[in-house]
Amino acid sequence: MERILQLFCRMTVLFIVSFLSLVTARAQTEPCITFKFDPSVAQDGSPYKFTGVLPLLIVAEDAVVIKSNGIENLQDWKNGEWVSYELKSQDLDQPSFDVEIYGTVTSFKITDALVTQVDVLNCPQLKILSCSMIPLNSIDLSKNLELEYLRCSSTQVLDLSLVNNKKLQYVDCSASNLQSLELKELKELRFLDCSYNNLRDLNLAANTKIQTLRCSNNPLSNLDLSMLTELEGITCSQTNLSSLDLSRAKKLNGVILNNNQNLETLVVSTEFHKAEDLAIMDVSSNALRELDVTGLDKLFSIFLERNKMDGEATSRFIQSLPDHSYPHPINNNKLCIIDTQSDKEENVCYEEDVRLAWEKGWLCEDYNGGQPIRYMGSKPIAAEVVQSEQVRLYPNPMSSNLQIRGAEAFVEVILFTVEGVAIMNAKCNEDGAADFDVSHLPQGSYLVKVGERSIPVIRK
């Protein structure tokens, strides 16, 4: 029985050795990576140019052999270093040719070359793949199960399947022609750049480890980031989003959300959740009507110009700013609140709010068409703060609420249309104060009668 076991063990060892030898021999006789160079794609108007060289970076566990009848200096490969392989012909009309790479390659990078096809199916040990600025139409990664890093930016890839690449941590597929992107299997994903595509939907519910997200220049109309509690930075500009909630991203440090023409609502702070690490915000050139940053004590730089915040909303926003007057007395916290040189500016910020911001350690700035200057605030128009024997009405233009202060105790206040029709009335309290909810009123001019005084106001 013992001899039989010994014989069995010997046969098993011989089988394993033979199998490994066969695999090694196959690896030596078959290329692990093949790609096609096609100069015909370098046409007028194309972003892909003929450069006369082929830049490659290859990392391998053994020696690499490169075979091709179209390039020179095939022996120049150096492990882990960029090498520019010269084309044998500098003629744009030359026929396409293939390049074959042999070896146990773990990292392959190619950039700025007229490469239309890349085959890595015979390279299962590949961990890093970068194909950027090449006219690649498609790529099959179904057998690259060890892949951790993928960059295929500035290509022509229409469809990208990553269902088998569960170890991916870094994906850059920006500036391609992607119509959809399925990421539900990538639970280890930390970095995603899918900017400059044609994505209308982006489901990140399963990608809870994402730290950096870049998704600008896509026709996105909805984006749920409630599961991304590890998110540290986001760039999401020029989309179709109308609202975005970032309040659950407690580790979020920087936000770039500009030029979203439909973005009216941005949430970074609620009663229950706050992006408490947020330090820098660029939310300019949106359609924001409100912004609350209560409790975001690490904020020190905000770009808010070219939005739609009226004086009342701006006042509430500035009241929510963190107080940096101590230990930051030099007012090195910047708030770009308006761009007086832009015909798209709809923000309103009054002098008293600028003063309050200054008292909190914030310097208000006017973007001034790209040449920022200090902003001192604007004066209320019409009768935004009317002082007639201490009677004050604000804000004016009014939006949702009109406050009367400094009147006589228990005096009657009546709101009239310009035609003289009384539409609202109230009595001041013992402190001479009264409030009107005017959110339901149509836009236009009105008169407020406080006792014997008539004061014009505007509903914006």
Largest Cα span, the chain? 119
Give domain status of residue 322, yes or no.
Answer: no
Residue 21: the pLDDT is 39
Name the helix (H) or strand (E) containing 14. helix 2-29
Per residue in 260-313, pLDDT (tens digit) is 999 999 999 999 999 999 999 999 999 999 999 999 999 999 999 999 999 989
Look at the pTM and tell me if it is higher than 0.85: no
From 369, 215, 353, select the one nearest 306 (Cα to Cα).
Answer: 369
For the chain, what is the domain count? 2
Residue 11: the pLDDT is 55
pLDDT: which is higher, 446 or 3: 446
Q: Name the pLDDT band for 460 (thresholds 50, 70, 90).
A: confident
Which of the listed residues 199, 225, 252 is the one where a domain comes to its end? Answer: 199
From 418, 419, 393, select the one nearest 406 (Cα to Cα).
Answer: 393
| CATH number of the domain bearing residue 444 | 2.60.40.3080
Give domain status of residue 12, yes or no.
Answer: no
How confident is the prediction for the chain on average, in pLDDT? 89
Domain range spanning residue 60? Answer: 27-199
Which of the listed residues 148, 173, 199 is the one where a domain comes to its end? Answer: 199
- Mean pLDDT throughout 393-417? 88
Per residue in 147-166, pLDDT (tens digit) is 999 999 999 998 899 999 99
Is the pLDDT at 331 greater than 60? The verdict is no
**Contact (CB, 8 A) for 255 and 298:** no
Q: Name the pLDDT band for 253 (thresholds 50, 70, 90).
A: very high
Residue 268: the pLDDT is 98
Which of the listed residues 170, 199, 228 is the one where a domain comes to its end? Answer: 199
- Mean pLDDT throughout 206-229? 97
Give domain status of residue 69, yes or no.
Answer: yes
Q: Name the pLDDT band for 28 (thresholds 50, 70, 90).
A: low
Q: Give the list of residues 6+ apart from residue 184 with CB closer than 8 angstroms, or none.
A: 203, 205, 206
Give domain status of residue 182, yes or no.
Answer: yes
Residue 23: the pLDDT is 42
Is the pLDDT at 188 greater than 70? The verdict is yes
